Amino acid sequence: MSEPYDIAIVGGGMVGASLAVALEGLGVRTALIEAVPHDAAAQPSFDERTTALSNGSRCILKTLGVWQEVADTATRIAKIHVSDQGHFGFARIDAAELGRDALGYVLPNRALGAALWSRLSRRPDLDVFCPARVATLEIAEDAVELALASHRILRARLVVAADGIDSAVRAAFGVGVETRDYGQTAIITTVLPGKFHEHVAYERFTAGGPLALLPIADGRCTLVLTLHPAAAEAAMSWSDEQFLSEVQARFGWRLGRLLKVGRRRAYPLALSRAERSSRGRCIVVGNAAQALHPVAGMGFNLGLRDVASLAELIAERSGELDTVAGVYDSWRAADRREVIAFTDGLVRVFASPWGPVRRLRNFGLLAFDLLPPAKAALSALSTGAAGRIPKLARGVPIRAAS
């Protein structure tokens, strides 16, 4: 016997859990399938990393009632400082100049995971299967059957692939993916600088790869250090003193001496882009649709706009879910295209060792620093101003169609 659902979300990480929250009260019966409990050490989404949230993402979470649960753990970004090591170019973005309280916020993943999952219990319209895995998936004309490894069978009118970069659901529906290995590894940790960060986020491009310092609580910073794989492997074995010395040499002394470093984690970096964001009764969201380089901090923000758009369409078309996929594809196309192109272009331009490119990018940074319209355009891109903006990103709650 199969159990009937309107929506089956496969993957309960940051994007999948956000979608489950967004569907509350929309009149659709939903199943959420996740292999690893949100508070388990092995859960890859809700680990010790942090996420940079745009103002648009904050608005989505606030409209969903989630931001209120995590606001005390978030650190605002008042300014962004971008520089190119060994060259004259730099750029600055100031929230006050744009008439805003913050350019964004840095939020611990664990805090977000706890807030999202606390909203998923005791809901009559949602069944959570965790820990659980999809063993097989059969596509019929009017529904999709998902057989769980526990021998339960779920039958859904619409399936959402939120199961990450190596999405098995995406593959089962025959959605191809383009992957480009950047030949880089990100080492992520926290550091304590001698000077208070003053809520400034730093992005510094070096010959070995970009380096980011994001402000977090207690005067600490999240460090994202991007290196070639061999160099990253060596860096993981360095003593804390050597590691801090190497980071200091790359970053400089804007924050004084770097005093302490936390536990380091290494993540290989690649661009992964699904050829489309839907097929048949399947919608592809988050990292299953696009996994980006962390250089611009836009990955989760793009995935959260996937969620907001999809939830709005489901609210509008709950009676005809088989029509959602095509509309979703066209809605998300411009936002996906522009953010992917911007992030990938940034990596390519600042990785180029060619002299004319280095000079051009430094003049570009200076021009950007002097042109308020360019800063406003980048701010718009980061909040999803390409194409139709979801209601949740505008602070408008979504309701089930009457």
pLDDT at 298: 85
Domain total in the chain: 1
Give domain status of residue 343, yes or no.
yes
Give domain status of residue 159, yes or no.
yes
258, 192 contact by CB (below 8 A): yes
Q: What does the mean pLDDT of the chain come to?
A: 88
pLDDT at 88: 55
d(CA 197, CA 255): 7
pLDDT per residue as tens, the chain (402 positions): 789 999 999 999 999 999 999 999 999 999 999 999 888 877 878 788 899 999 999 999 999 999 999 999 999 999 988 887 656 556 778 889 878 899 899 999 999 999 999 999 878 999 999 999 999 999 998 999 999 998 899 999 999 999 999 999 999 999 999 999 999 999 999 999 999 999 999 988 888 888 999 999 999 999 999 999 999 999 999 999 999 999 999 999 999 999 999 999 999 999 999 999 999 999 999 999 999 988 778 889 999 999 999 999 999 998 889 899 989 999 999 999 988 888 887 776 665 454 444 454 454 444 444 445 444 555 555 555 566 899 999 999 999 876
Alpha carbon of residue 362 to chain centroid:
28
246: helix, strand or coil: helix
pLDDT at 83: 81
Look up the domain containing 341 and give its range.
2-179+270-394
Give domain status of residue 142, yes or no.
yes
d(CA 65, CA 67): 6
Block residue for tokens 């602070």: 395
Instruction: Calculate the dihedral angle through the C-alpha atoms of 59, 10, 181, 269, rounding to the nearest 10 degrees.
Output: 50
Show Cβ contacts of residue 378 under 8 Å, excluding neighbours closer than 6 positions. 93, 368
Give domain status of residue 308, yes or no.
yes
Give domain status of residue 349, yes or no.
yes
57, 307 contact by CB (below 8 A): no
pLDDT per residue as tens digits for the range 285-313: 999 999 998 877 888 999 999 999 999 99
Give domain status of residue 262, yes or no.
no
Angle 123-126-130 (CA atoms, 0-180°, nearest 5)?
Answer: 105
48: helix, strand or coil: coil
pLDDT at 258: 98
Strand (E) or helix (H) holding 147: strand 144-148
35, 166 contact by CB (below 8 A): no
Residue 24, class by beta-carbon neighbours within 10 Å (0-12 exposed, 13-18 middle, 19+ buried)? middle
pTM of the model: 0.91
Give domain status of residue 189, yes or no.
no
pLDDT per residue as tens digits for the range 244-289: 999 999 999 999 999 999 999 999 999 999 999 999 999 999 999 9
pLDDT at 349: 63
Give domain status of residue 147, yes or no.
yes
CATH number of the domain within which 292 lies:
3.50.50.60
d(CA 208, CA 183): 11
pLDDT at 376: 56
Phi, psi of 270 (to 5 degrees): -155, 155
